[in-house]
Amino acid sequence: MKLRYTFLKRAPLIVEPQNPLSVKSVLCRPSSANPHAPFRPQARLRTASALPPQFVRLSLLPSVAQPPALRDGEDSDLREWLGSRTYSRTKTAHCFVVQQLRRPVLTILITVAMLCLAPSAQGFTLSITDPNLKGFSGKSLNILLNPTNCPAGIEDNIETAIDLWNSVPTSRLEIKMGGTTSTTAASLRFFSFPETAIIACSTDFATDSASSAGTGGCTGTCLDVVPAGTRSTTLGTGRMQKAFIVVNMNAAAGGNFGLKSTTEREITIAHEMGHLIGLGHTEEVAALMHFSIAAKTNLNLHQDDIDGITYLYGRDELGGDPLLGCGRFQGPLSPSGPSGGLVILLIFPVILWTWVRSRKNARYL
């Protein structure tokens, strides 16, 4: 395969036995040569005046012992011609330094496109085992709180968790604290409440955390480790419709939310809020949505969490949302992420223009 090169500025070159130049090749002629004579090899090298202006680089040429050897099969006549000449420190020659032509713009664009289209190595999951699950409709989600049985300061814990999820720039979803509700924790599991999303505290967490009417909730060891639980439903629509978080305030439970530190409370609420908006557990240990948050000491989002919320609530860039970038979407449920067509549509004209320009201006060895 032929390599593309650019020719640097012609300049006097002192040839000495030290400091070899790490370039592809050096094309020289003695300073006593006919100034109109072409540089070797004649069939492949143009004179300085014929080079396009963008190929002339202002660069001083360091001294070299001899031009580096070309690869086998490449311009043996040039290698022989250069090797047959010896210059002393007092002799000069006019030379071109030949280096590989680089196209940083094209390289960057191709890299960005590949990143946008490539699947993530991590595996966020969805809270409902439906690979086509869609998040809540609209751009905002109001969460209401029933403060009955809740510890002091829980509103601040919720606000902190909301701010964390709202900080994701590639998500269109804006979560809001929507005030209070009288809906009790005991009635949540029937999904009969009129609100969309509710947080309530329960002193009977073993019962109120049941996934549906008539099923047992958190009992035994579970009560000692689980400070809160979340349930959600699509009501058969394929899109998130209702969800709730039940906070464990069982006085005899080791997982009592009220016994946790402020940071532990914030991490717990933020984790459960991830379930509430549609995310399941991930195997990425550093992620907020990892199935075990007992070891977490800092409230933050991992890229896997960001990928998850962006998959469910990615900005609609063609529908008016600002162009902020691309996400990488792939999980164990293999959700079908947004198409990379928009990215290709945006960068293809630039890639094509750059390629045409490079074909026009490049010179080959």
Domain encompassing residue 12? 4-102
Residues 20 and 51 in one domain: yes
Give the H or E element holding residue 306: helix 303-313
Residue 160: is its pLDDT beyond 50?
yes
Query: What is d(CA 16, CA 90) in angstroms, rounded to the nearest whole number?
Result: 9
> Are 217 and 161 spatial neighbours (Cβ–Cβ below 8 Å)?
no
Provide the CATH number for the domain around residue 237. 3.40.390.10
pLDDT tens-place string over residues 163-179 = 999 999 999 999 999 99
Query: What length does the chain have?
Result: 365
Residues 54 and 193 in one domain: no
What's the DSSP call for residue 145? E
* Residue written as token pair 């969805």: 126
pLDDT tens-place string over residues 224-272 = 888 999 998 888 888 999 999 999 999 888 889 999 999 999 999 999 9
* Average confidence score pLDDT of the chain: 68
Q: Is residue 359 part of a domain?
A: no
State percent of the chain over pLDDT 90.
33
Domain count, the chain: 2
3-state secondary structure of 358: helix
The pLDDT value recorded for residue 164 is: 97
> Are 126 and 279 spatial neighbours (Cβ–Cβ below 8 Å)?
yes
Residue spans of beta strands (DSSP E) within 219-336:
228-233, 242-248
Q: Is residue 352 part of a domain?
A: no
Q: Is residue 135 part of a domain?
A: yes
Q: Is residue 344 part of a domain?
A: no
The pLDDT value recorded for residue 294 is: 82
Residues 169 and 288 in one domain: yes
Q: Is residue 304 part of a domain?
A: yes
Residue 362: is its pLDDT beyond 80?
no
pLDDT tens-place string over residues 15-57 = 222 233 333 344 444 444 444 444 443 223 333 334 333 332 2
Residues 198 and 304 in one domain: yes
